């Protein structure tokens, strides 16, 4: 075992994988297959067809737009335009329920306004497209849609180039020169993915390990950037750092080392995969010495591509505590797995959220139509993090634990429960949704009153699971496949609820 400095001047531990104790009773990859974390070849081909369709539509639209701007057809046919996949599909760790994250890159004469108006109309005319929604006010503006049942988040970036050739790579930092902040943020997803794959010592083991950690985070309720937990990029960076420190290890060992490393990490010490690049393009980079707000971040996980940013800036004191607790539990389970005391299924057991606490705050978002609900629920969800930060300041609240799952509610009984006066971050009359008929309601209830808001079948499952007091390391039951919560559509209920606990009895998970 020895240390050396890699090409990014970060210390890396070189070791050969060692096995302590018996080999785990079930191979990790076999266990992952039970949860449906990978998709079949036909399903992958369907995603590729969606990307090809987007590429064709985008190129054709740029051609027509260029001609309308009096560009000669011969020149317009050369300006190009390209659609890039990023996120889990770029890293090839997507599951069968994952969105397709795609970036449309255009030459300099194509404006953002044209993309969100003219190209939006092109998409609306396609028979395969459903649930089309432009979200221009987001931190990273995007178009949401479904193509042949595949959910797509579509971003836009305009480069300061006359042409966007088919073979253009986005790693060159100079491509960011003279771009507005929205374009830089839109490009960041692809650039971070490229750097992640370049910086890990073994892409294959990185992918298997990341699949396992993503599944674990979703099952344990700590996978949601918008609610103050960690999103896909943050978990990928943490796994990549684990791989850098254990370059020769197997996925089974890497999963264990992941929990060893980050259950003991001294936050807010930042996690980084390489030293920050000294570019001088005038873009803001994460630097707590120069930016006072950066110094308040609780869990800095820095993106490896310029401009360096904290992918976990939404983390609050409460969500940091919950994430750390889950990492500690994960360490205990993986140690038992390596000792042969249980299988990998134990790591992916979902906790019984509703049996952990006595007091709950049920947040209900409802609207008149399914189309309105699609936008309204997204807006309400984006405000929950601010509500949690307000609750953290209350001295009588021990922990405000957000449940990331979204549920369809039962018919409301508005008499029971204690209503709250207002929600932090509630829409104002100037809000773009002010004219839409919608409502949001937050009610403090006790555990025995939850049946008024949530389906009885859900609570019955929770009670049944909580009532069976298994020994800590008994083999777990066969798992159901993991299913991602679906976007609201015309077939969705007009009322959904998000619940989280207030004034906890206990924060332990058994």
The predicted-structure confidence for 414-429, as pLDDT tens digits, reads as follows 434 444 444 444 444 4
Average pLDDT, the chain: 82
- Give bridge partners of residue 438 from the DSSP assignment: 367
Average pLDDT over residues 277-290: 88
Q: Is 88 labelled as part of a ligand binding site?
A: yes
CA distance linking residue 501 with residue 360, whole number of Å: 4
Contact in structure between 271 and 300 (CB atoms under 8 Å): yes
Q: Is 86 labelled as part of a ligand binding site?
A: yes
Domain 41-168 has CATH 3.20.20.80: no
**pLDDT reported for residue 453:** 82
Nearest to 130 by CA among 492, 464, 458: 492
CATH topology for 2-34+198-348 is Poly(a)-polymerase, middle domain (1.10.1410)
Quick: pLDDT tens for 302-334.
999 999 999 999 999 999 999 999 999 999 999
Scanning the structure block, which residue is given the tokens 């058994």? 510
Nearest to 133 by CA among 153, 148, 115: 153
Average pLDDT over residues 152-161: 97
**pLDDT reported for residue 369:** 73
Average pLDDT over residues 212-235: 96
Q: Is 494 labelled as part of a ligand binding site?
A: no
Average pLDDT over residues 332-352: 93
| Weakest-pLDDT range from 69-73, 108-112, 404-408, 422-426 | 422-426
Asked if 2-34+198-348 and 353-501 have one fold, the answer is no
DSSP classification of residue 302: B
Tell me the pLDDT band of 443, cut-offs 50, 70 and 90.
confident
- Is residue 315 reached through a cis peptide bond, with omega within 30 degrees of 0 on the bond before it? no
Total residue count of the chain as it appears in this document: 510
Angstrom CA distances, 22 to 79, 253, 370, 471, stand at 60, 13, 53, 20
Average pLDDT over residues 448-466: 71
Q: Is the pLDDT of residue 133 over 60?
A: yes
Contact in structure between 134 and 117 (CB atoms under 8 Å): no
Q: Class for domain 353-501, per CATH?
A: alpha beta
Which is more confidently placed, 18 or 272?
272
Residue 321 backbone class (left: φ over 0; alpha: ψ -120 to 50; beta: rest): alpha
**pLDDT reported for residue 145:** 94
**pLDDT reported for residue 411:** 53
Name the strand (E) or helix (H) holding 131. Answer: strand 129-135
Percent of the chain with pLDDT over 90: 55
**pLDDT reported for residue 509:** 25
CA distance linking residue 93 with residue 214, whole number of Å: 9
- Is residue 268 reached through a cis peptide bond, with omega within 30 degrees of 0 on the bond before it? yes
Burial readout 454-481 (b: 16 or more C-beta within 10 A, e: otherwise): beeebbeebeebeeeeeeeeeebeebee
Contact in structure between 230 and 223 (CB atoms under 8 Å): yes
DSSP classification of residue 329: H
**Catalytic positions, please?**
88, 99, 101, 153, 214, 223
Structure tokens at 255: 């999963």
CA distance linking residue 157 with residue 108, whole number of Å: 9
Q: Is 232 labelled as part of a ligand binding site?
A: yes
Structure tokens at 116: 């969100």
Alpha helix (H) residue ranges in 200-297: 203-219, 232-245, 251-263
CA distance linking residue 410 with residue 424, whole number of Å: 25
What residue segments make up the domains of the chain, in order of their start? 2-34+198-348, 41-168, 353-501
Q: Is the pLDDT of residue 384 over 80?
A: yes
**pLDDT reported for residue 489:** 40
Q: Is 204 labelled as part of a ligand binding site?
A: no
Structure tokens at 137: 């006010």
Q: What is the pTM of this model?
A: 0.82
Q: Is 233 labelled as part of a ligand binding site?
A: yes
Q: Is 490 exposed, middle or buried (0-12, 13-18, 19+ CB in 10 A)?
A: exposed
Angle, CA of 109, 137 and 126, to the nearest 5°: 65
Tell me the pLDDT band of 135, cut-offs 50, 70 and 90.
confident
């Amino acid at each position: 075992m020895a240390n050396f400095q890699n090409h990014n001047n970060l210390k890396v531990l070189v070791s050969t994988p060692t096995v302590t104790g018996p080999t785990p009773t079930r191979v990790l990859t076999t266990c992952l297959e039970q949860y449906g974390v990978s998709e079949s070849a036909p399903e992958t081909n369907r995603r590729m067809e969606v990307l090809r369709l987007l590429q064709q539509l985008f190129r054709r639209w740029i051609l027509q737009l260029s001609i309308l701007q009096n560009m000669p057809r011969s020149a317009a046919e050369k300006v190009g335009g390209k659609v890039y996949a990023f996120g889990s599909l770029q890293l090839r760790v997507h599951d069968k329920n994952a969105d397709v994250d795609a970036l449309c890159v255009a030459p300099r004469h194509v404006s953002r306004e044209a993309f969100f108006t003219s190209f939006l109309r092109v998409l609306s005319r396609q028979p395969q497209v459903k649930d089309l929604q432009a979200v221009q006010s987001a931190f990273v503006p995007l178009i949401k849609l479904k193509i042949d049942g595949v959910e797509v988040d579509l971003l836009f970036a305009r480069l300061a180039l006359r042409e966007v050739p088919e073979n253009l790579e986005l790693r060159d930092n100079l491509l960011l020169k003279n771009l507005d902040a929205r374009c830089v943020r839109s490009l960041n997803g692809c650039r971070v993915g490229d750097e992640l794959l370049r910086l890990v010592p073994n892409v294959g083991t990185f992918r298997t390990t990341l699949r396992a950690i993503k599944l674990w985070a979703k099952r344990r309720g700590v996978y949601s950037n918008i609610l103050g937990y960690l999103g896909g990029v943050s978990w990928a960076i943490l796994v990549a750092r684990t791989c850098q420190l254990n370059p020769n290890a197997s996925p089974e060992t890497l999963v264990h080392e992941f929990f060893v490393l980050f259950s003991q990490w001294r936050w807010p010490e930042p996690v980084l995969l390489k030293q920050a690049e000294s570019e001088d393009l005038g873009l803001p980079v994460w630097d707590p010495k120069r930016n006072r707000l950066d110094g308040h971040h609780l869990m800095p996980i820095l993106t490896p591509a310029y401009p360096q940013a904290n992918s976990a800036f939404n983390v609050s004191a409460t969500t940091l505590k919950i994430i750390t607790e889950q990492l500690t539990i994960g360490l205990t389970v993986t140690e038992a797995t390596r000792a042969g005391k249980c299988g990998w299924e134990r790591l992916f057991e979902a906790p019984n959220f509703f049996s952990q606490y006595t007091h709950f705050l049920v947040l209900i978002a409802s609207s008149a139509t399914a189309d309105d609900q699609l936008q309204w629920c997204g807006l309400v969800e984006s405000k929950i993090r601010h509500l949690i930060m307000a609750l953290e300041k209350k001295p009588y609240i021990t922990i405000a634990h957000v449940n990331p799952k979204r549920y369809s509610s039962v018919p409301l009984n508005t008499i029971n429960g204690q209503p709250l006066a207002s929600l932090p971050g509630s829409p104002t009359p100037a809000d773009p949704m002010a004219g839409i008929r919608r409502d949001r309601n937050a009610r403090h209830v006790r555990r025995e009153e939850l049946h008024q808001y949530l389906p009885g079948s859900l609570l019955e499952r929770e009670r049944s699971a909580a009532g069976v007091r298994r020994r800590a390391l008994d083999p777990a039951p066969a798992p159901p496949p993991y299913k991602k919560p679906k976007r609201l559509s015309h077939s969705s209920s007009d009322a959904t609820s998000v619940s989280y606990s207030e004034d906890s009895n206990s924060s332990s998970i058994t």
